[in-house]
Structure 1
Amino acid sequence: MKTNTCSVSFSINGEKKTFATRPDEKLLDLLRREGYKGTKYGCGQGTCGACTVIMDGKAVYACLLYSMQAEGRKVRTIESMGTYDKPAPIQVELVAAGAVQCGYCIPGIIMSATALMETEKDISDEVAKEYMDGNLCRCTGYEKIWVALRRTIDRAAAAPAKKASAKGGKK
């Protein structure tokens, strides 16, 4: 029996690429096959958030999307975030708060938090909880994750004010 194969082209972490795929292949499976292993398989039903990626600025579950749905889109995975030597602010805060235990859920949590901070202004706890509602963590009990997220949000909000006051002070 012949397998139908096709190609899909999209931007992955800022780089335009074309991948061989099948019409029934999930985006999560394509990403992992192509080496983007930070995006995790959890439930396969869009309920745990381990597979969260950012597509065109929105957090989405890669386990629910067919790879062909990424055609022409901009997809970001955890690999687009900070490095070991220069972690992203949310990564720093998660570690500082002791929120990283087994680490399996953390890539999805980071991607949801990133989408939140890139799309929302003046982020209330209610809005943050709504964004993060689809990310499960069975190790931490969430409190440390919330502490890290709130610190990251608050520091990001304070950063423009610091830059503005620094510029205003120079003549």
Structure 2
Amino acid sequence: MSWFSQFFTNNITSILSSITNTVDQFHLSKEEKHQFQLAMEKIIQDKFSETEKTIRQELSSREKILVAELNQGDTYTKRARPTVVYFGLLMIGCNYLIVPLATQLLGIQMQTITLPTEFWVAWGGVVSTWSVGRSFEKGRVSNKFSQAAAGKQ
């Protein structure tokens, strides 16, 4: 059983016990209560099953898009992530190394730019994705994750 299924199974049990406790407040026979409980369990499981199917389809389509990008003939697409990484390094280097050095050594008054949080979040996400993909690629590890991150080998 996958972690996803376990997560939903635990939630179904929790929701069902809450519903059962609510139904206990009404006067139903044991058989009616049991039938109600089974019907509710089926409805909840169907809804969770639909949700799981939708999420799996979404992940599958994202994987297909990533693999298609990596397998296409356009070599810049394969270099796009490293370009973003190097541009970020250039911005960081200029802002936190070159500008302070120029200010101290040359006496030129220059202000550093405060890089926004969005820059750090986006750049960090690209760097981590690229690093993980390259690590799997270099390590010759082949599984679904590595194929999604680095393309099929």
TM-score range for the pair, normalised by the shorter chain length: under 0.3
Greater strand proportion: 1
Greater helix proportion: 2
The two structures have a TM-score, normalised by structure 2, of 0.21
Which structure has the larger Rg? 2
